[in-house]
Amino acid sequence: MGGYDEAYRHSIEHPDEFWAEAARGIDWDVAPATVYGDGRWFPDGRLNTCHNALDRHVAAGRGEQAALIYDSPVTGVVRTFTYAELLDQVARAAGMLRDLGVRAGDTVVIYMPMVPEAVVAMLACARLGAVHSVVFGGFAARELAVRIDHARPKVVVSASCGIEPARLVEYKPLLDAALEQAGHRPDRCVILQRPQCQARLTEGRDVDWARAVQDAEPAACVSVAATDPLYILYTSGTTGSPKGVVRDNGGHAVALHWSMPHVYGAAPGEVYWAASDVGWVVGHSYIVYAPLLAGCTTVLYEGKPVGTPDPGAFWRVVSTHGVRTLFTAPTAFRAIKKEDPSGSFAKKWDLSGLRHLFLAGERLDPDTYHWASDLLGIPVIDHWWQTETGWPIAANCVGLESLPIKPGSPTRPVPGWDVHILDADGGDCPPGTDGAVTVKLPLPPGALPTLYRDDDRFRRSYLERYPGHYLTGDGGHLDADGYLYVMGRIDDVINVAGHRLSTGAMEEVIAAHPDVAECAVIGVADQLKGQLPMGFVVLKAGADRDPGELERELTALVRERIGPVAAFRRAVVVARLPKTRSGKILRATMRDIADGRPYATPSTIEDPATLPEIAEAMGGK
């Protein structure tokens, strides 16, 4: 495949050649004569993403290979779908949507738990050339209503319930409430009735999934332009209103197909597991599309890293299904580490087939990196990307060349991504100097071409601050070897008495303390210095520490490794950190609480009770 340096240089100096070669890995109805033109990739090509994910593998004689393994510890169900079986289900679901009036270009909102039908619904939309917008299952009715009004779906596909370790979440009442609040009215709602909960269907509007699919004739693939949208995925914005990230069909298929062997080292027929949710970008890219485009076997896991039933849940899945590549968030491993610091549960399973662990979604602190690396004895690879980009910006591309790992860095930019660190005036920062992490335009295939029905906001949010560059919204630096260090969102840089300091750097130091399972550092308002750092610490299981003594130890650590300029003196022990369902710590909300400002409980929060717990813990501070 050639080395990393050669591939990266080729992608930046000759992008047309590089991506034309990558595009040959995809089946085209009309092969693109133009690689890049008028700001779009493969503008004159035509294809169907579902054909590339399913039909072509069956046609090539691999219909009996496992395509999807559904593993649900919350229901006790494990089921494997071959490529032929998955194709049959998707074609019938597409026929159902077609019978309900869905055509190419129409939108379909999918509001479902982690069940095979969620994957089937996404691929069925792609088969028809319809645009799906997956909303995380269990989202509050108001947030669902906002997305329905923005996406204006012809049909909504949902389920009777989702299942959490300790409770059952009824989706249908949430959907009904959302439709009462929304101005837009979908023609129909398709409801998957799960045995754990039977939803009451609204006559004339709601359709039973099983009955409708059974009665449908299979639908063929519809050819679409490479520049036509495949999906919309809403992500939070600084204004509070969701941004609809658009993903096109052609660039998306090419980039994700290329990424599987080159970034992840995954080969056709191997088992690849992204332990995420279909409601997030990781679920779109690396549970559903990329593994199937590449002919791998993908795992759909309806469970948690701990509690379903124990901290060995991930190891059971890896061992039982022969997972070769695991991709999850650092939060998952911190949760496992907290409950099982010695890693004893991992020793109960045969993990010899696991080749790589990839972590992304938040900063990977060196302590978690070392714990996972020591436990598994395999490469633990931090990589970095965003909802907007759709696939990794920076990674150790193991399929090209395994570069030396530097804990705290997602290694170097992936081919196609021309990463720059810019100062306030738009100049390149020297190595080791923090600035804004940007990508020189054009963005490679697979990245967002715009925001749904909001080109102006796309330009304002990403392109205006540094002309000719995409602003990631993250700060960081490149070192002398070209390794990228992403230190957190630009607004997570705090200003202490005129000194710009990264809260991420302080979190690294605190996370290295032997009693700390995970932590978050925020900047809180201070009359004298403008801002001061404040740490929130979750202790490892069995660590019974005097809070004052621990605070003194952490203060000394930060002083030693960052310096007295950090002015770190406040640390609060909490039972848990407030997080979104995708595992991101709600630092902005924590700042509001610390500064005494009114705050709204974000719709994406995993457990609303964590916010008053944080406020109470701050009472003594």
- pLDDT at res. 18: 98
Place of tokens 């700042």: 591
Task: Please state, in angstroms and rounded to a whole number, the distance separating the CA atoms of residues 291 and 275.
Answer: 13
Residue 77 and residue 189 share a domain? yes
Residue 319 lies in a domain: no
Residue 173 and residue 68 share a domain? yes
Strands (E), 497-596: 499-502, 516-526, 530-539, 570-573
Q: Is the pLDDT of residue 126 over 80?
A: yes
Residue 191 and residue 94 share a domain? yes
Question: Which range among 29-33, 154-158, 407-411, 446-450 shows the weakest confidence by mean pLDDT?
Answer: 407-411
Residue 518 lies in a domain: yes
Identify which of 621, 438, 432, 433 has the alpha carbon closest to the alpha carbon of residue 522.
621
- pLDDT at res. 533: 94
**Joined tokens for residue 459:** 């330009």
- pLDDT at res. 580: 86
Boundary (domain end) residue, out of 424, 446, 476: 476
Residue 393 and residue 531 share a domain? no
Strand pairing category for 206-208 and 188-192? parallel
The percentage of residues in the chain with a pLDDT greater than 70, rounded to a whole number, is 98
Q: Is the pLDDT of residue 620 over 90?
A: no
Task: Please state, in angstroms and rounded to a whole number, the distance separating the CA atoms of residues 180 and 184.
Answer: 9
SS3 234: strand
- pLDDT at res. 65: 98
Beta bridge partners of 297: 271
Residue 387 and residue 262 share a domain? yes
Residue 73 lies in a domain: yes
Task: Please state, in angstroms and rounded to a whole number, the distance separating the CA atoms of residues 502 and 492.
Answer: 7
Q: Is the pLDDT of residue 181 over 50?
A: yes
| Residue 605: DSSP 8-state | B
- pLDDT at res. 461: 92
Residue 508 and residue 467 share a domain? no
Residue 358 lies in a domain: no
- Please check whether residue 332 is in contact with residue 583, taking contact to mean a CB–CB distance below 8 angstroms: yes
- pLDDT confidence of 141, banded at 50, 70, 90? confident
Task: Please state, in angstroms and rounded to a whole number, the distance separating the CA atoms of residues 45 and 29.
Answer: 8
Q: What is the mean pLDDT of residues 238-264?
A: 90
284-310 as b/e, with b when 16 or more CB fall inside 10 Å? bbbbbbbbbbbbbbbbbbbbbbbbbee
Calculate ∠ Cα 409-414-416, nearest 5°: 145
Q: HEC string of 403-443?
A: CCCCCCCCCEECCCCCEEEECCCCCECCCCCCEEEEEECCC
- pLDDT at res. 498: 67
| Total count of domains within the chain | 2
Residue 230 and residue 170 share a domain? yes
Q: Any residues with CB less than 8 A from the CB of 437 and at least 6 apart, and which?
A: 419, 420, 421, 472, 474, 475, 476, 484, 486
Residue 425 and residue 552 share a domain? no
Q: Is the pLDDT of residue 431 over 80?
A: yes
Identify which of 5, 7, 6 has the alpha carbon closest to the alpha carbon of residue 258.
7
Identify which of 176, 177, 160, 179 has the alpha carbon closest to the alpha carbon of residue 168.
160
Q: How many Cα neighbours within 13 Å face the side chain of 542?
A: 7
Name the amino acid, one letter, at 89.
Answer: Q
Helices and strands, number each (H, E), in the chain? 20, 31
Quick: pLDDT tens for 153-178: 999 999 999 998 888 999 999 999 99
Task: Please state, in angstroms and rounded to a whole number, the distance separating the CA atoms of residues 382 and 373.
Answer: 11
Q: What CATH number corresponds to the domain at position 392?
A: 3.40.50.12780
Residue 189 and residue 160 share a domain? yes
Q: What's the whole-model pTM score?
A: 0.89
**Joined tokens for residue 212:** 């409708």
- pLDDT at res. 2: 64
Q: How many Cα neighbours within 13 Å face the side chain of 453?
A: 10
- Please check whether residue 389 is in contact with residue 443, taking contact to mean a CB–CB distance below 8 angstroms: yes
SS3 63: coil
Q: How many CB atoms lie within 10 A of CB 522?
A: 25
Task: Please state, in angstroms and rounded to a whole number, the distance separating the CA atoms of residues 535 and 523.
Answer: 9
SS3 content of the chain, % helix, strand, coil (to 5): 35, 25, 40
- pLDDT at res. 19: 98
Q: What are phi and psi of 118, to 5 degrees?
A: -65, -45
Residue 593 and residue 450 share a domain? no
Q: Is the pLDDT of residue 238 over 70?
A: no
Within 340-391, where are the H helices?
366-376
Question: Which range among 2-16, 196-210, 280-294, 556-570 shows the weakest confidence by mean pLDDT?
Answer: 556-570
Residue 348 lies in a domain: no
Q: What are phi and psi of 380, to 5 degrees?
A: -105, 115
Q: How many Cα neighbours within 13 Å face the side chain of 536?
A: 26
Beta bridge partners of 250: none
Task: Please state, in angstroms and rounded to a whole number, the distance separating the CA atoms of residues 611 and 442.
Answer: 41
The percentage of residues in the chain with a pLDDT greater than 90, rounded to a whole number, is 80
Quick: pLDDT tens for 89-120: 999 999 999 999 999 999 999 999 999 999 99
- pLDDT confidence of 1, banded at 50, 70, 90? very low
Strand pairing category for 77-82 and 66-72? antiparallel
Residue 28 lies in a domain: yes
Residue 133 and residue 39 share a domain? yes
153 sits in the region (left: phi over 0; alpha: psi -120 to 50; else beta) called beta
- pLDDT confidence of 583, banded at 50, 70, 90? confident
Q: What is the mean pLDDT of residues 53-57?
A: 98
Residue 485 lies in a domain: no
**Joined tokens for residue 498:** 């005129």
Q: What are phi and psi of 431, to 5 degrees?
A: -50, 140
Q: What CATH number corresponds to the domain at position 535?
A: 3.30.300.30
Higher pLDDT, 491 or 540: 540
Identify which of 390, 324, 376 has the alpha carbon closest to the alpha carbon of residue 345.
376
Boundary (domain end) residue, out of 416, 446, 476: 476
Residue 363 lies in a domain: no
Task: Please state, in angstroms and rounded to a whole number, the distance separating the CA atoms of residues 93 and 99.
Answer: 10
User: CB-based burial of residue 180 (10 Å sphere; 0-12 exposed, 13-18 middle, 19+ buried)?
Assistant: exposed
Task: Please state, in angstroms and rounded to a whole number, the distance separating the CA atoms of residues 290 and 296.
Answer: 9
Task: Please state, in angstroms and rounded to a whole number, the distance separating the CA atoms of residues 174 and 141.
Answer: 5
- Please check whether residue 102 is in contact with residue 128, taking contact to mean a CB–CB distance below 8 angstroms: yes
Residue 564 and residue 465 share a domain? no
- Please check whether residue 460 is in contact with residue 467, taking contact to mean a CB–CB distance below 8 angstroms: no
Name the amino acid, one letter, at 96.
Answer: M
- Please check whether residue 419 is in contact with residue 393, taking contact to mean a CB–CB distance below 8 angstroms: yes
Boundary (domain end) residue, out of 429, 444, 476: 476
Identify which of 118, 182, 112, 113 has the alpha carbon closest to the alpha carbon of residue 153.
182
Highest mean pLDDT among 85-94, 565-574, 599-608: 85-94
Alpha-carbon dihedral sign for residues 506, 328, 109, 451: positive
Mean pLDDT of the chain: 94
Task: Please state, in angstroms and rounded to a whole number, the distance separating the CA atoms of residues 557 and 506.
Answer: 9
Q: What is the mean pLDDT of residues 438-463?
A: 97
Length of the chain: 621
| Residue 451: DSSP 8-state | B
Alpha-carbon dihedral sign for residues 419, 424, 427, 430: negative
Q: By residue range, what is the domain housing residue 186?
A: 4-303+383-476
- pLDDT at res. 495: 77
- pLDDT at res. 84: 98
- pLDDT confidence of 149, banded at 50, 70, 90? very high
Name the amino acid, one letter, at 337.
Answer: K
